[in-house]
Amino acid sequence: MLFGCCVGVVGEGGKLNTERLDVIKNLGFDFVELGAAQVAALEDEDFAQLKNKLQALSLRCLCMNGFLPGSVRLTGPQADLDAAMVYVRKAAQRMAALGTKTVVMGSSVARNVPAGTSMGQAMDQLAVFLDKAADVLEPLGITLALEPLNRQESNILNRVSEGAALARRVNRKGIQVLVDTFHLNLSYEPLTNILDAAPYLRHVHIANVLGRSMPSLDAQENLPEIFACLKRIGYDGTISLEASVKGDLSQEAAAALHCLRTLHAAS
């Protein structure tokens, strides 16, 4: 099992800020997870600086999240597949340059279904986009992991079971699914959905429901049961902390990493 942490690299005024990368490396995480849309939007000079920083730290960027910016529309009459693919090709090249193997597609604004568009029509549009995206990502060794989001954030793909069903429909090696414990629990999904999604499970995000906070041994909610499910299906891939930091990143992430490694060892 490899453990990572999601951090941003864009600070005030849209300027590159890599300070958090030092924290993640010093804490002993196996990798860092960056925002794909953030990375894609960097100026060439800033991207080169980011790449050099990761190389200097020997810190892998195995995963990215936030695949699509809100300016890209995937569903409804304003969906523009050609424009979406222009973005995908640029983002994919940058991900490949950083050695990224998984990109998470939450991207609620891009995928949310507008009034007047049926859920069936929207699913058809998503399926076409995912198939086209796989054409770009698969040759680069990158897998897209669909992220089910709770209904407060998105009106489509709200459950792990729905994400797995769409991955099954698209039937591409490069299209799989993510389990996010925050969304899973907020949607009151049964943990058996993790078991059912096993053939398509690519990546896992961790955050407590309470405050979307970092877990710790004193605040782990139902993580022991979730780790038991992951062990049952033989999952041994990547897991990232995707949680809000309430105070000090170093302290909270250190406690969370210790919690995850302890749970993994005990499961």
pLDDT of residue 12: 78
Give the global pTM. Answer: 0.96
261: confidence class by pLDDT, cuts 50, 70, 90? very high
pLDDT of residue 14: 81
Q: pLDDT tens across 30-55, in order? A: 999 999 999 999 999 999 999 999 99
In whole angstroms, what is the distance from residue 90 CA to residue 96 CA? 10
Domain range for 259 = 2-266
State the CB neighbour count (10 A cutoff) for residue 247.
8
Q: pLDDT tens across 120-165, in order? A: 999 999 999 999 999 999 999 999 999 999 999 999 999 999 999 9
Q: Is the pLDDT of residue 267 over 90?
A: no
Structural domain count of the chain: 1
Q: Is the pLDDT of residue 118 over 90?
A: yes
Question: Of 11-20, 169-178, 209-218, 241-250, which range is least confident?
Answer: 11-20
pLDDT of residue 30: 99
pLDDT of residue 76: 98
CATH of the domain at 120: 3.20.20.150
| Under 8 Å between Cβ of 186 and 159 | no
Q: What are phi and psi of 240, to 5 degrees?
A: -120, 145
In whole angstroms, what is the distance from residue 96 CA to residue 91 CA? 9
The burial of 222, by beta-carbon neighbours within 10 Å (0-12 exposed, 13-18 middle, 19 or more buried), is given as: middle
113: confidence class by pLDDT, cuts 50, 70, 90? very high
Mapped onto helix, strand or coil, the DSSP state of residue 27 is helix
Q: pLDDT tens across 52-97, in order? A: 999 999 999 999 999 999 999 999 999 999 999 999 999 999 999 9
State the CB neighbour count (10 A cutoff) for residue 199.
11
